[in-house]
């Protein structure tokens, strides 16, 4: 226990020192570090896969699920996409040093805001070793030091990736504490990280709701997170029903296991009779189980009656809650009480109702006539993302490079004093 | 205890409901509420002062300090400035609904960020009843519901101000839960507030370091705060010494008891001999006690030798730590280890050194050739402020209307789906 404490102390203090150096690095050095890491990961593929195989063998021995093993695997494709990700981040504009605004005060003082790194970021995540590289790339580009604590089932893979990071940092004379992987699977390390409020500026947990709740409830350090994505599409009366079917289908089926997939579909009563039977058939053909309100079940004989717990539930699977509503207001109220502030969409032809839905629905992304699946940093045009936040503070929605920075004020004077 | 729990439950849930209505209020209604409150406060002056007198009498009985009683007093001047404050906030542009950026994706989806209220804000503060009105005005203008918990010594004053707020909200058919004063002095109410993470989005504590630490350490809700302001002025070699004297004097003496006053002065060794004796005299004439390093004490015979605890100390008084440094790097390192990320200034004539100080010093405001006293929302041109944050997340520096909001993403499509 004391050993872990000493280890995390040393890592956190090292990260804090490195953060001061990282804040001063030029964009070109940061980009070169990312590009060199990309090359090295590809070159070192066989070595990485040998280490990864140790994790995979242990996971197989434990009888972990195929989906788990899939996420854990550093296949050629995953290694290629880690490298591509780093190259994409290198190509993005550097947020640090940007001056989004500057103005002059009546006394001549020129005041501005300049974008700066946050400082030290800790990522706590489950067993997807690609997150190690994706997160390190984003954090370094934004000038932050990062402490990475991945799932214990990925420890060999993460340490192998770490040694590549260390090697590249050393090549550019950047302290190795700029990007550190916690070298132990002892859970006490997480508890120690959560206490380092003097050194760590923000914690980003990624994984299941249990992990995220644990971090949020045990940390005094600000946490950027979303617990879950309970996303809805509301099909308004008078909607283009072909468009509605395509968008709802895409929102549910294209990748059902992710946070921006639709979990509930709300249908205005005026179009329910026309829309629901055909929509339901399409879902049935795709293997989606429907859990409906009474009116839904009348219109769709093969829908199962929803029980109370299905409303607002994150299925992360080919299951959908379906409800007929009497009005858009009912839909908006339902979303306010059952949504998770993640992603909400309306399908409508009505200008005024589109405007009202956009303004009255409180979610990190509100869409008109488009799939919920667009709530993603890349899809929205932010470049890569480190996660999606449904916290309102600091970041609400996908978090890209800009969300890994803050701004400080600067002022240029010629002797101004306050009277 | 259960009674308090029930009370805070009701208040927090009421605030959450009101927040949805406030988010939709037009700017003109919000401004009218502020202007009407300003008028009513002035009209109700005598009643307010009668209630205030109850608090003052109790404070005198308790033998509280003159400074405390001064802050507690609702004088004609304080009432006037509360009303003026509301009118100024009413005149500021409404941040809500602003779309700072909008862009089009290759698939035609138009994506933007729109500014929205945060939701429910809780203020926990000490016995300055004017904060009740200042904070309520700012929060309402930004579309947030606010729960106000002032010091127990100001309870009669705060409840009197609350009834004016309630009266005006009712006049505009806005729920009274939009701006609520906690109607009990029981400390259990604070503990209950700190637990309402489902209803309260952010807590802003204002007051002494003890209060702020208590809130930060006991809350799971994000806290926007600064613990203290340990601000420095670094006088560079080759600085304009007249300017340096004026700025340092103003930074220390103009209002020594506030967070943006200078607490430490760093002087480059090349100009120490010329600068320090005259500067020290000016300070002595103003009653400032100097606590110096060895070299300072050699140059200024009447300076007292500083002890270790004087470096990085927040005096909030006419006391100043003075240190001669060998280089700007030493000054920057000293600030990194002894500052509080609040306000740091350099006095210099050197272009490159000004740039480096601005970039390498991590503080919510970094100034060149101007007084630290400018770290204030009004002075920097943000309009009114609700406090200054030295947290890096969400807000770093003075927090005005914009910092009381967040942004959500909106997207306009015509049937886009993800492939």
Q: In this model, does residue B1 exceed pLDDT 80?
A: no
pLDDT digits (tens, 9 = 90+) for B338-396: 999 999 999 999 999 999 999 999 999 999 999 999 999 999 999 889 999 999 999 99
Do B255 and B209 share a structural domain?
no
CB-CB: which of A360, A397, A398 is closest to B24?
Answer: A360
Do A284 and A208 share a structural domain?
no
Q: Is B69 on the interface with A (CB under 8 A)?
A: no
A378, closest residue in chain B (CA to CA) = B105
Q: Give how far A114 is from chain B: nearest CA, Å.
A: 9
pTM: 0.93
Give the number of other CB atoms < 10 A from CB of residue A106. Answer: 6
Percentage of residues of chain B with pLDDT beyond 70? 100
- Cα B51 to its chain centre, rounded Å, is 27
Do B274 and B198 share a structural domain?
no
Q: Does residue A103 belong to any structural domain of this protein?
A: yes
Q: Which residues, in sequence order, are CB contacts of B96 under 8 Å at separation 6+? A: B23, B27, B115, B116, B117, B142, B143, B405
Q: Which of the four pLDDT bands, split at 50, 70 and 90, describes residue B22?
A: very high
Do A19 and A71 share a structural domain?
yes
Do A278 and A185 share a structural domain?
no
CB-CB: which of B105, B119, B371 is closest to A417?
Answer: B371
Q: Give how far A347 is from chain B: nearest CA, Å.
A: 8
Whole-angstrom distance, CA of residue A140 vs CA of residue A166: 13
Q: In this model, does residue B207 exceed pLDDT 90?
A: no
A375 and B409: CB-CB below 8 Å? yes
Residue range of the domain that includes A201 = 2-225+402-412
Mean pLDDT of B79-84: 96
| Residue A132 exposed, middle or buried by CB count within 10 Å (0-12, 13-18, 19+) | buried
Phi, psi angle pair for A372, to nearest 5°? -60, -20
Q: Give how far A90 is from chain B: nearest CA, Å.
A: 21
Do A217 and A268 share a structural domain?
no
pLDDT digits (tens, 9 = 90+) for B225-248: 888 999 999 999 999 999 999 999
pLDDT digits (tens, 9 = 90+) for A363-386: 999 999 999 999 999 999 998 899
CB-CB: which of B354, B368, B381 is closest to A105?
Answer: B381
Q: Does residue B170 belong to any structural domain of this protein?
A: yes
Do B157 and B188 share a structural domain?
yes
Whole-angstrom distance, CA of residue B196 vs CA of residue B192: 7
Q: Could you tell me the CA-to-CA distances from A40 to A35, A237, A250 in Å, in that order?
A: 9, 55, 37
Give the number of other CB atoms < 10 A from CB of residue A351. Answer: 9
B408 and A397: CB-CB below 8 Å? yes
Give the number of other CB atoms < 10 A from CB of residue B254. Answer: 17
Domain endpoint, select from B172, B206, B225: B225
Q: Give how far B244 is from chain A: nearest CA, Å.
A: 8
Cβ atoms of B368 and B346 closer than 8 Å: yes
A370 and B220: CB-CB below 8 Å? no
Instruction: Name the A residues in 6-45 with CB < 8 Å from any B CB.
Output: 20, 23-24
CB-CB: which of B222, B363, B396 is closest to A406?
Answer: B396
Q: Does residue A396 belong to any structural domain of this protein?
A: no
pLDDT score for A127: 85
Q: Is B407 on the interface with A (CB under 8 A)?
A: yes
A411 and B119: CB-CB below 8 Å? no
Do A200 and A61 share a structural domain?
yes
A179 sits in which H/E element: strand A179-181
B163 sits in which H/E element: helix B155-171
Whole-angstrom distance, CA of residue B230 vs CA of residue B390: 11
Whole-angstrom distance, CA of residue B386 vs CA of residue B335: 26
Do A286 and A219 share a structural domain?
no
Cβ atoms of B213 and B227 closer than 8 Å: yes
Q: In this model, does residue B200 exceed pLDDT 90?
A: yes
Whole-angstrom distance, CA of residue A406 vs CA of residue A404: 7
Do A39 and A8 share a structural domain?
yes
Mean pLDDT of B16-21: 96
Q: Give how far A362 is from chain B: nearest CA, Å.
A: 8
Contacts A–B by Cβ distance under 8 A: 211
pLDDT score for B301: 95
Domain CATH number, residue A55: 3.40.605.10
CB-CB: which of B20, B220, B391 is closest to A217?
Answer: B220
**How high is the mean pLDDT of chain B?**
96
B418 and A364: CB-CB below 8 Å? no
pLDDT digits (tens, 9 = 90+) for B296-341: 999 999 999 999 999 999 999 999 999 999 999 999 999 999 999 9
Q: Is A333 on the interface with B (CB under 8 A)?
A: no
Q: Does residue A395 belong to any structural domain of this protein?
A: no
Contact list, B410 vs chain A (CB under 8 Å):
358, 365-368
The structural domain count of chain A equals 2
Strand partners, B264: B232, B321
Q: Could you tell me the CA-to-CA distances from B125 to A313, B13, B202, B352 in Å, in that order?
A: 39, 21, 14, 42
pLDDT score for A253: 97
B373, closest residue in chain A (CA to CA) = A418
Q: E-strand spans in A8-125?
A: 101-104, 110-117, 120-125
Q: How many CA atoms lie within 13 A of B129 on its CB side?
A: 28
Q: Does residue B388 belong to any structural domain of this protein?
A: no
| Residue A247 exposed, middle or buried by CB count within 10 Å (0-12, 13-18, 19+) | buried
Domain CATH number, residue A294: 3.40.309.10
Contact list, A114 vs chain B (CB under 8 Å):
358
Collect the ranges in chain A with pLDDT lower than 50. Answer: none
Contact list, A418 vs chain B (CB under 8 Å):
250, 254, 371, 373-374, 379
Q: Does residue A385 belong to any structural domain of this protein?
A: no
Instruction: Name the B residues in 179-198 with CB < 8 Å from any A CB.
Output: none
Q: Does residue B418 belong to any structural domain of this protein?
A: no
Q: Does residue A390 belong to any structural domain of this protein?
A: no
Whole-angstrom distance, CA of residue A284 vs CA of residue A301: 12
CB-CB: which of A24, A365, A369 is closest to B360?
Answer: A24
Q: Give how far B116 is from chain A: nearest CA, Å.
A: 9
Do B148 and B68 share a structural domain?
yes
The SS3 assignment for A103 reads strand
Strand partners, A101: A113
Q: In this model, does residue B127 exceed pLDDT 90?
A: no
- Of A177, A34, A168, A167, give the one whose Cα is nearest residue A92: A34
Q: Is A410 on the interface with B (CB under 8 A)?
A: yes
pLDDT score for A1: 62
Strand partners, A325: A268
Domain endpoint, select from B176, B205, B225: B225
CB-CB: which of B367, B396, B408 is closest to A363?
Answer: B408
Q: Is A392 on the interface with B (CB under 8 A)?
A: yes
Do B146 and B28 share a structural domain?
yes
Q: Which of A337, A406, A407 to mutate to test the interface with B (most CBs of B within 10 A)?
A: A406
């Amino acid at each position: 226990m004391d050993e872990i404490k000493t280890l995390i102390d040393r890592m956190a203090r090292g990260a804090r020192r490195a953060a001061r150096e990282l804040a001063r690095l030029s964009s070109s050095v940061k980009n070169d570090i990312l590009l060199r890491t990309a090359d090295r990961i590809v070159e070192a593929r066989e070595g990485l896969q040998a280490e990864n195989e140790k994790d995979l063998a242990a996971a197989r021995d434990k009888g972990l699920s195929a989906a788990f093993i899939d996420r854990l695997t550093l296949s050629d494709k995953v290694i290629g996409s880690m490298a591509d990700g780093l190259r994409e981040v290198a190509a993005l504009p550097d947020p640090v040093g940007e001056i989004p605004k500057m103005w002059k005060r009546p006394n001549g003082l020129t005041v501005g805001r300049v974008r700066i790194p946050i400082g030290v970021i800790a990522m706590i995540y489950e067993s997807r070793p690609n997150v190690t590289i994706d997160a390190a790339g984003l954090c370094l580009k934004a000038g932050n030091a990062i402490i990475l604590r991945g799932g214990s089932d990925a420890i060999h893979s993460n340490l192998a990736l770490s040694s590549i990071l260390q090697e590249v940092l050393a090549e550019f004379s950047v302290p190795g504490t700029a990007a550190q992987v916690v070298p132990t699977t002892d859970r006490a390390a997480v508890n120690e990280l959560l206490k380092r409020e003097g050194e760590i500026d923000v914690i980003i947990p990624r994984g299941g709701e249990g992990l995220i709740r644990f971090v949020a409830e045990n940390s005094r350090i600000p946490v950027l997170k979303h617990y879950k994505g309970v996303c809805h599409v509301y099909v308004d009366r008078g909607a283009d029903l072909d468009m509605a079917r395509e968008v709802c289908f895409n929102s549910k089926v294209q990748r059902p296991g992710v946070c921006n997939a639709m979990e509930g579909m709300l249908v205005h009563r005026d179009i329910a009779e026309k829309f629901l039977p055909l929509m339901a058939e399409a879902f049935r053909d795709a293997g989606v189980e429907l859990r409906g309100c009474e009116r839904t079940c009348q219109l769709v004989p093969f829908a199962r009656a929803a029980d109370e717990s299905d409303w607002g539930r994150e299925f992360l699977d080919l299951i959908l809650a379906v409800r007929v509503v009497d009005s858009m207001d009912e839909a908006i109220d339902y979303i306010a009480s059952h949504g998770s502030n993640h992603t909400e969409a309306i399908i409508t032809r009505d200008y005024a109702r589109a405007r009202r839905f956009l303004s009255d629905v409180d979610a990190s992304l509100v869409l008109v006539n488009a799939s919920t699946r667009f709530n993603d940093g890349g899809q929205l045009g932010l470049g890569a993302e480190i996660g999606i936040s449904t916290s309102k503070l600091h970041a609400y929605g996908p978090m890209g490079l800009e969300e890994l920075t803050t701004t400080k004020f600067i002022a240029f004077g010629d002797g101004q004093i306050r009277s």
